[in-house]
Amino acid sequence: MPYDPSNIFARILRGEVPCHKVYEDEHTLAFMDIMPQAEGHTLVVPKTPGQDIFELPAEALAATIRTTQRVARAVRDAFEAPGVMIAQLNGAPAGQTVFHLHFHIVPRYHGKDMRMTSGAMADPAVLAEHAARIRAKLG
């Protein structure tokens, strides 16, 4: 299936759909997941179009993982998480639902089981506050 430029992340990148931005540089954008698995659940997307890890050029993938590492540190510190799950899914059988490569950064805590999707929309005011906490740690 070819890349669909009308996917939600492509629309966010073009500014057609709002997001709670955490970080942006010339190659990537990080923003709050609107169906978070935990407080601080953040997504990192490349600005280069590509459905999955197999389509994205290596240079764009390298920039995306650098941003993922940087933002993951900020998420961990902002939410005092003893663990952080980084997830990246490729193809519908793997659970991918938005076909623009992206990394999930999810704070994890002892004794709290989590699924990959909550299925519930978060309060935008809460997402805005979470994004601010992470931005503060990014400096």
* CA dihedral sign, ordered 75, 118, 89, 102: negative
Query: What pLDDT is recorded for position 115?
Result: 62
pLDDT band at 114 (very low <50, low <70, confident <90, very high): low
pTM more than 0.85: yes
pLDDT per position as a tens digit, 32-85: 999 998 999 999 999 999 999 999 999 999 999 999 999 999 999 999 999 999
- Of 20, 41, 100, 102, the catalytic one is 102
Q: Specify the CATH architecture of the domain 8-138.
A: 2-Layer Sandwich (3.30)
Q: Please indicate whether residue 102 is annotated as part of the active site.
A: yes
Query: Which residue type sits at 77?
Result: D
Q: Using CA atoms, how far apart are residues 93 and 81, in angstroms rounded to an integer? A: 30
Give exposure, 45-71, as e/b (b: 16+ Cβ within 10 Å).
Answer: bbbbbbbbeebbeeebbebbbebbebb
How is the chain split into domains, by residue range?
A: 8-138
- Under a CB-based contact definition with an 8 Å cutoff, are residues 24 and 68 in contact? no
